[in-house]
């Protein structure tokens, strides 16, 4: 529960910063960064099984 609360607080602070400083370009940049990290993590878990099928 503590992790969720901190994550929500971080997201709220990030949105507040983007709104106050009119830095709306940060929102898509952060979304792309999160997607890239998620894909990298998922790919790292799948690659050994994909390589195993080739041999």
Write down the domain spans for the chain: 2-54
3-state secondary structure of 55: coil
Q: Which pLDDT tens digit goes with each residue over 1-54? A: 889 999 999 999 999 999 999 999 999 999 999 999 888 888 777 777 777 777
Task: Provide the pLDDT for residue 29.
Answer: 95
Angle at 28 between CA 27 and CA 29, to 5 degrees: 90
Q: Model's pTM, two decimal places?
A: 0.65
């Amino acid at each position: 529960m503590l992790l969720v609360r901190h994550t929500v607080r971080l997201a709220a602070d990030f949105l507040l910063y983007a709104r106050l400083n009119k830095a709306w370009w940060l929102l898509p940049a952060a979304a792309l960064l999160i997607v890239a990290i998620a894909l990298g993590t998922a790919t790292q878990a799948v690659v050994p099984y994909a390589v195993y099928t080739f041999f």
